[in-house]
Chain A
Amino acid sequence: MITHLPILQVVIPLMAAPICLILKRPQLAWIFALAVSGLAFAISLVLLQQVMVSGVISYELGGWQAPWGIEYRIDQLNALMLLIISTISTIVLFAAPESLDKEISKDKHTYFYVLYLLSLTGMLGIVATGDAFNVFVFLEITSLSAYALIAMGKKKQAVWASFQYLVMGTIGATFILIGIGLMYQMTGTLNMQDLAQRLPEVSQTRTVFTAFAFVIVGVCLKLAMFPLHLWLPNAYAYAPSIVTAFFSATSTKVAIYLLIRFTFSVFGLSFSFTTVPLQTLFMTLGVLGIFVASISAIYQHNIKHLFAYSSIAQIGYMIVGFSISSVSGLTATLLHLFNHALMKSAIFLALAAVAYRVGNVQLDNLKGLGREMPWTMAAIVIGGLSLIGVPLTVGFVSKWYLLTALIEQGWWPIAVLILLGSMLAVIYVWKVVEIAYFKESSGAPVKEAPLSFLIPIWTLVIANVYFGIDTRFSVEIAQAAAQSLFGGGL
């Protein structure tokens, strides 16, 4: 069975979704979904361990050899992504029943779990596959379930945010489809590794340049990279709290993965960064994104909006690391990807707890919560410190690596800008702290969140601190993945 792990990683949550629908009772569906997500987490751990020990795993679906059939291909980068997705999914799911009770009508809980599992499946599928068209199919599974999950939010704005996301997402996916079509037309293959071998021959053609542009723009739409980020804030702010916690940590990360996979592995480093002026473009957009989004975050009145803009800013940091196009720069990006998943899921899960007790997450209603919900607010504060990049948190580690990578290349001005960007994070995090701890509560006092929230929240908070101090695990994997991306393709 151990040789079949790559496919089981995706197929188990996939087949669990219809079973959830058959189980029908929300309670049962939840326990089952949790068990399945836990199993996916266990599988991803084993896969990571296998990859680190014995290198790339390839799995031929249907027993058909690679370019003719679909191949699953797990290297260090894939294994890391699979681990992040399945871990966050499992932890977040712990708090789901309580949060859903307040936010979604009872008769739709089962559908929620089915869709949740489907979106988990989609993300795992995108990461595990080695076939460009298969990416498109699983991308659509993720997107469709995401549209439905976001629209399940309590307010009517949720439906509107979901529709806007649907339009942008579909345009993005269709762009990717066009790009894949053009690549296919020039090479005759859809397998990523085969593409990587065949693209250099035709890399000077105008068609391949166009293919590259379409794939990158499509992925950047999904990524919510500045200036294509407009769909994200409302989608995150109005989605059910559990959905926000899950997606903020995973869905944009999957898009970053695709960006890295296509530029480094499929098109190849020399094409992406020498034939096409990607470096200057992405560096500029990354830095601009950090500033525009951080400043927008400062002016928000809804905390979910605030942290959604902060997510766009954090994407900016990842893009900057990516566009350095050195091993250390890519390591910084991957580290930040891992670390940001930990921070944002902790913060948004804590906000789910606030929404559970207070009913909404308007900044004004936070008054006095520092005393009334000390554990929950402490989690938000630690998450916020991590966003700023204070030492002893994970945020510090990834910023440190990013700065070293920049200085290595002698790009001092950018490094200074990055530090300035972190100052902006201080302002928006302080806004939250000030209201929660230094303003008197005006309404009736609320109780601390129940343990079903606090346990997952604090698991994530402890991870935030632990990986901030003991960096061996995360740095080792990120470095290995970055090196393998530079060491000759897939």
Chain B
Amino acid sequence: MINIVLLSLLVVIAIAIIRMKDLFAVVMLTGIYGLLSASFFVAMDAVDVAFTEAAVGAGISTLLMLVAITMTGRKEKVTRHKPFAALFIVLITGGLLIYGTLDMPLFGSADAPIHSHVAPRYLNDSMQEIGIPNVVTSVLASYRAFDTFGEVVVIFTAGIGVLALLFVPRRKEEDEKIASINDSMHEHHLVIRIITKMLIPFILLFALYVQFHGDYGPGGGFQAGVIFSSAIVLYTMLFGLSTARKVINQGFIQLMAAFGVLFYGCVGIASLMNGGNFFDYNVLSDDPVAGQHLGILLIEWGVGVTVAAIMIIIFFSFAGRRELQQHSENNKNRESL
């Protein structure tokens, strides 16, 4: 029953997003769309996915879109080109998909092919082979560790791509000038500043908890990385980018991002050195299960470090670009006066 309610809500939001012209509202609705799908994932027993979707769909992606909107304007032009062509394509694609559903196994049926091939082994044997209760973690960190490695590389690629597109090297004097303008803007939020300062240690602590708890419950490196970076983002928003950059400088986070990927890869190399295949954790220790534990612990750290570093890099790049834009606008205004 709850599925139907959630799905209907999602449809309503999707239609609202199509119709709205105010991009700020659209972005907020997209965030809610992410949050609702996360709730749906919980109803579908996918707790790990729900956690990640909540952090990404409702968190990071909404935040990035909001920052982007402050730079690009929040009104959508009414012109809508080729609505009929779009409708035609959508109807064909959707029709084909509906045609495809007709022979699908029914929703929730336990005898569907996916529940009888491949997956049963994960559920039945992972306790003996890997020895941790969260099967999702076993599969993503050991059986399909290479996919997760690919995932880390994807996020690394995105980070470097954003840097390549948005990074502007600044001279020192310029930097200080921008910083002083921003500092004056941030003075107002005294109460929020103090509360945030008190909150940050707890957020970081929670990140560490999620990092270590991934074996037993939902969580793991990716989610921990996102939470960790959100603490830094919060700090940046209230104390200004230049202050945050003094705490974490650009060179250092780039190093950390690279380090995380290398660390993950080195676990694979270590397996090779010990005579196993790439990412074969059994050979990392005398006892295979202990080896699996060690391997998973290490690669989760690799994931966490890279994800946290890249999220910070991406946010800093956007925020830095925005400061620069404001700075040049200020200059222009001054000249025209």
A–B direct touch in complex (beta carbons closer than 8 A): yes
A134 & B150 in contact (Cβ 8 Å cutoff): yes
Question: Which residue of B has the minimal Cβ distance to A152?
Answer: B164
Q: List A contacts of B146 (CB < 8 A).
A: 61-62, 70, 134
Query: How distant is the Cα of A60 from the Cα of B282 in the complex, in angstroms?
Result: 14
Query: How distant is the Cα of A125 from the Cα of B100 in the complex, in angstroms?
Result: 30
Min Cβ gap A327→B in Å is: 32
Question: Which residue of B has the minimal Cβ distance to A175?
Answer: B93
B277 & A213 in contact (Cβ 8 Å cutoff): no
B147 & A188 in contact (Cβ 8 Å cutoff): no
B169 & A107 in contact (Cβ 8 Å cutoff): yes
Q: List A contacts of B265 (CB < 8 A).
A: 11, 14-15
Majority secondary structure of chain B interface residues (helix, strand, loop or mixed) = helix
Binds A, one of B52-60, B173-181, B235-243, B254-262: B254-262
A21-B254, A63-B276, A188-B119 known; A148+B160 contact, CB < 8 A: yes
* B-contacting residues, A23-80, CB 8 Å: 59-64, 67-70
A188 & B157 in contact (Cβ 8 Å cutoff): no
B113 & A18 in contact (Cβ 8 Å cutoff): no
Q: List A contacts of B162 (CB < 8 A).
A: 148
Q: List B contacts of A296 (CB < 8 A).
A: none
B161 & A148 in contact (Cβ 8 Å cutoff): yes
Q: Is A141 an interface residue (CB 8 A)?
A: yes
Q: Is A377 an interface residue (CB 8 A)?
A: no
Query: How distant is the Cα of A107 from the Cα of B161 in the complex, in angstroms?
Result: 14
| A4, A17, A210: the one within 8 Å of B99 (CB) | A210
Q: List B contacts of A213 (CB < 8 A).
A: 96
Query: How distant is the Cα of A282 from the Cα of B167 in the complex, in angstroms?
Result: 44
| B103, B113, B115, B257: the one within 8 Å of A206 (CB) | B103
Q: Is A155 an interface residue (CB 8 A)?
A: no
Q: Is B318 an interface residue (CB 8 A)?
A: no
Min Cβ gap A191→B in Å is: 8
Min Cβ gap B129→A in Å is: 9
Q: List B contacts of A22 (CB < 8 A).
A: 255, 258
Query: How distant is the Cα of A63 from the Cα of B160 in the complex, in angstroms?
Result: 32
Min Cβ gap B110→A in Å is: 13
Taken residue by residue from 173 to 200, chain A's Cβ proximity to chain B (1 for < 8 Å, 0 otherwise) reads as 0000010001011111110000000100
Binds B, one of A112-120, A256-264, A364-372, A398-406: A112-120
Q: List B contacts of A207 (CB < 8 A).
A: 100-104
Query: How distant is the Cα of A18 from the Cα of B150 in the complex, in angstroms?
Result: 13
Min Cβ gap A156→B in Å is: 12
Q: Is A363 an interface residue (CB 8 A)?
A: no
* A-contacting residues, B179-196, CB 8 Å: none
Size of interface on B: residues with Cβ below 8 Å to A: 57
Query: How distant is the Cα of A68 from the Cα of B142 in the complex, in angstroms?
Result: 10
* A-contacting residues, B246-289, CB 8 Å: 254-255, 257-259, 261-262, 265, 268, 272, 276-282
Size of interface on A: residues with Cβ below 8 Å to B: 62
Query: How distant is the Cα of A133 from the Cα of B146 in the complex, in angstroms?
Result: 11
Question: Which residue of A has the minimal Cβ distance to B116?
Answer: A188
* B-contacting residues, A81-136, CB 8 Å: 107-108, 111-112, 114-115, 118, 121, 125, 133-134
B103 & A205 in contact (Cβ 8 Å cutoff): yes
Taken residue by residue from 131 to 163, chain B's Cβ proximity to chain A (1 for < 8 Å, 0 otherwise) reads as 000000000001111110011011011101111
Q: List B contacts of A469 (CB < 8 A).
A: none
B100 & A141 in contact (Cβ 8 Å cutoff): no
Question: Which residue of A has the minimal Cβ distance to B115?
Answer: A188
Query: How distant is the Cα of A205 from the Cα of B116 in the complex, in angstroms?
Result: 19
A186 & B156 in contact (Cβ 8 Å cutoff): no
B261 & A67 in contact (Cβ 8 Å cutoff): no
Q: Is A462 an interface residue (CB 8 A)?
A: no
- Total A-B pairs in contact (CB under 8 Å)? 165
Query: How distant is the Cα of A82 from the Cα of B102 in the complex, in angstroms?
Result: 40
A68-B118, A188-B113, A206-B103 known; A62+B156 contact, CB < 8 A: no
B99 & A206 in contact (Cβ 8 Å cutoff): yes
Min Cβ gap A472→B in Å is: 35
Q: List B contacts of A108 (CB < 8 A).
A: 164, 167
Question: Which residue of A has the minimal Cβ distance to B277?
Answer: A63
Min Cβ gap A353→B in Å is: 24
Min Cβ gap B240→A in Å is: 24
Question: Which residue of A has the minimal Cβ distance to B255?
Answer: A22
Query: How distant is the Cα of A115 from the Cα of B255 in the complex, in angstroms?
Result: 16
B114 & A185 in contact (Cβ 8 Å cutoff): yes
Question: Which residue of A has the minimal Cβ distance to B168?
Answer: A107
Q: Is B117 an interface residue (CB 8 A)?
A: yes
Query: How distant is the Cα of A209 from the Cα of B102 in the complex, in angstroms?
Result: 11
A211 & B100 in contact (Cβ 8 Å cutoff): yes
A144 & B157 in contact (Cβ 8 Å cutoff): yes
Q: Is A267 an interface residue (CB 8 A)?
A: no
A11-B278, A62-B142, A62-B279 known; A148+B164 contact, CB < 8 A: yes
Query: How distant is the Cα of A207 from the Cα of B164 in the complex, in angstroms?
Result: 42
Q: List B contacts of A184 (CB < 8 A).
A: 114
Query: How distant is the Cα of A4 from the Cα of B275 in the complex, in angstroms?
Result: 10
| B116, B161, B268: the one within 8 Å of A147 (CB) | B161
Question: Which residue of A has the minimal Cβ distance to B280?
Answer: A63
A112 & B96 in contact (Cβ 8 Å cutoff): no
A63-B280, A210-B100 known; A144+B161 contact, CB < 8 A: yes
Q: List A contacts of B157 (CB < 8 A).
A: 115, 118, 141, 144-145, 148
Query: How distant is the Cα of A125 from the Cα of B150 in the complex, in angstroms?
Result: 9
Q: Is A407 an interface residue (CB 8 A)?
A: no
A15-B261, A114-B160, A210-B99 known; A62+B114 contact, CB < 8 A: no
Question: Which residue of B has the minimal Cβ distance to A71?
Answer: B146
Of the listed residues B105, B153, B282, the one surrounded by the most CB atoms of chain A closer than 10 A to its CB is B153
B258 & A67 in contact (Cβ 8 Å cutoff): no
Q: What are 22 A-B residue pairs whose CB atoms fall within 8 Å in the complex? A: A4-B272, A4-B278, A17-B261, A18-B156, A18-B262, A62-B145, A62-B277, A62-B278, A62-B279, A67-B117, A67-B118, A68-B118, A115-B164, A118-B157, A125-B150, A141-B150, A144-B157, A152-B165, A178-B97, A185-B105, A185-B114, A198-B117
Q: Apart from A15-B261, A144-B161, A148-B164, list 12 A-B contacts with CB within 8 A.
A: A11-B278, A14-B265, A17-B156, A18-B258, A62-B280, A137-B150, A137-B151, A185-B113, A189-B117, A207-B102, A209-B100, A213-B96
Residues of chain B having any CB pair with chain A under 8 Å: 96-97, 99-105, 112-119, 121-122, 142-147, 150-151, 153-154, 156-158, 160-165, 167, 169, 254-255, 257-259, 261-262, 265, 268, 272, 276-282
Ranked 8 nearest A-B pairs via Cβ: A210-B100, A148-B161, A188-B117, A18-B258, A63-B280, A137-B150, A205-B103, A188-B113
